[in-house]
Chain A
């Protein structure tokens, strides 16, 4: 089975702190990491490769330094890595990103494509399903368990708002996965050695055969009009006195709102 995994290099937002005076994010010295959901996607891909044979190719679109994320994925067990990097890709929204990734994946003839459910910087969860649409293959989002996998058929559980659906699909299919699915492995020594030496394949806009008007900022229908800091919430109401008095005040206040009746 040939498995492709899409990953994204993101700033480690768990390290991001707010500057209290300006209310902006302090990002100096924040390390870049592989988007946490993508580690679960990679783990799922490695698991399925180990079950059925085949290979895992990991792809990312980003600046040249995104190569670090690919090397980390190789250290974890990926067989091949492709970096999609070109000035023409810059400023891509989800549509342009998906079109770019899909064009690269098409050249791989993958049986299975795996993505994390969303990236922690954008949180849109759109790229996976959009890639599937551009590839003309079905997708299953929010996969929380792989019940069975064979080259002909995969059976998975997908998380819904009220429980889970069991879904079956033949290859090729794209999955987006949640963290509940598995526990990502640690890199092996052998993997680290391989990652160090491995030649990362690079693809540019010219290699993809997509008109440049459909890539990057030009190919992005959505535009940022402006960015701003959210309104600060209403001031905290103080509760004073003994615990019992505090709770009396609280219950009184809650009664005024429609929270309980």
Chain B
């Protein structure tokens, strides 16, 4: 359900302001607006003398104002790291193509999907064309091979000034989450973090940016009605990449990559050796918690390798020192969304669940039948991981053979 203020009935009496235990209602001009801190407690519904605050099953979106300067087109930051395109780059191109299509359908405008490639080989620009980019802005320079926030911000901001896109998307990766805020601040526009769904509104003008709030217990739909571009970061693996189209070519435009600055300098990079696959991008994650025990992680590794996956962990296992922090899934670790998540000996604290509950298929193995992990599991097996896993591994090997 949704809570919304019907702006036509709101008389601006402010009765709802005092009724809200979370300070989640504010006046904007003479109508009330509900903020992201709303807990859906419904206290305001009865407080409103005009019945202007409503709880509705399926809300039509509020009509946002038309921005003064609309801009045109959708731009994607196509992340590369050590010369490799990040998976999220092609996923964002898939999402971008859909938005471009929605703009065309709803507004009749034909707009471009552009990608910005910072550093990396020019061949990557061609690859972006195959995955849906119409135009690729590419900058190279000595400061752009490693990730330098200021230099990357200079390049992306100049690409945005040049192309004037109405939407800018980037991956919610370590890189995207670090420098996109700088770009948004420089342009004085809004940025919505970690979106899980992006759609144009019915007029094809405003981007409806849906993101989890309160650790995923509530979703908020965010708009940037008055500023352009509308910027959002998107978690890896949420959007679907299109299949590469043979022979599809993007126009490549070179950007100046030599006049940017970086006062904080990368002097070295150390790869996490225990991490074969970055867990945020893995298709399969086998995760272990306290119930696995220190020695049990070898079994998880074997199972993960069998499934071409990688090993994740709950905070408890990381705190015990059984596995490095980079593997931690959950609120204080990484948010993951693999096709298959196998939770072994993880009870499922809220903080863990919010980091993995959007996985496509979840298998939970735990000896406590009341463990909360079973509430989000597609398949649950009640049993001791030390007994279940060896048999599971054997069955998988048999099925494979």
Q: Name A's B-contacting residues (CB within 8 A).
A: 13-14, 16, 18, 22, 24-25, 27-28, 36, 63, 90-91, 93-95, 98-99, 120-130, 132-134, 137-142, 144, 155, 157-170, 173, 178-180, 217-218, 220-230, 233-234, 236-237, 239, 243-244, 246-248, 250-251, 253-255, 257-260
Contact present for B351 and A14 (CB under 8 Å): yes
Residue B266 lies at the interface, judged by CB distance under 8 Å to chain A: yes
A166-B269, A220-B190, A229-B219 known; A247+B388 contact, CB < 8 A: yes
For window 51-90 of B, CB contacts with A under 8 Å fall at: 59, 61-62, 64, 81-82
The answer on a CB contact under 8 Å between A162 and B222 is: no
Return the contact of A133 from the options B173, B175, B186 (Cβ within 8 A). Answer: B186
Q: Which of B312-343 contact A (CB under 8 A)?
A: 325-326, 331-332, 339-340
- Check B39–A223 contact: CB distance below 8 A: no
Is the Cβ of B381 less than 8 Å from the Cβ of A226?
no
Are A224 and B221 closer than 8 Å at their CB atoms? yes
How far apart are the CA atoms of A13 and B399 in the complex, in Å?
A: 43
Q: 15 A-B contacts, Cβ less than 8 Å apart?
A: A27-B22, A91-B26, A125-B181, A129-B179, A130-B184, A133-B182, A137-B263, A142-B174, A163-B275, A217-B33, A224-B36, A230-B216, A239-B379, A251-B395, A257-B361
A133 touches B178 (CB 8 A): no
A163 touches B221 (CB 8 A): no
**What's the least CB distance linking B386 to chain A, in Å?**
12
Give the distance in Å from the alpha carbon of A241 to the alpha carbon of B363 in the complex.
17
A260 to B304, alpha carbons, bound, how many Å? Answer: 11
Asked whether A236 and B39 contact (CB < 8 A) given A125-B193, A217-B28, the answer is no
Q: Does B123 contact A (CB under 8 A)?
A: no
Type the 1/0 row for B125-151, where 1 means its CB is closer than 8 Å to any CB of A. 000000000000000000000110110
For the complex, give the distance between the alpha carbons of A221 and B41 in Å: 26
A162 to B187, CA, bound (A): 30
Interface residues of B (CB under 8 A from A): 1-4, 21-23, 26, 28, 33-41, 59, 61-62, 64, 81-82, 146-147, 149-150, 153, 173-175, 177-182, 184-186, 188-194, 208-209, 212-227, 262-272, 275, 278, 280-281, 283-284, 306-308, 325-326, 331-332, 339-340, 349-351, 357, 360-361, 363, 374-381, 383, 387-388, 391-392, 395-396, 399-400
Docked Cα-Cα span, A228 to B208, in Å, equals 14
Cβ contact within 8 Å between B381 and A169 = no
Which of B23, B339, B378 has the most chain A CB atoms inside 10 A of its CB?
A: B378
Chain B residues with CB under 8 A of A134: 185
Given known pairs A125-B177, A161-B174, A226-B34, the reply for A169 and B263 (CB within 8 Å) is yes
**Contact indicator B208/A163 (Cβ below 8 Å):** no
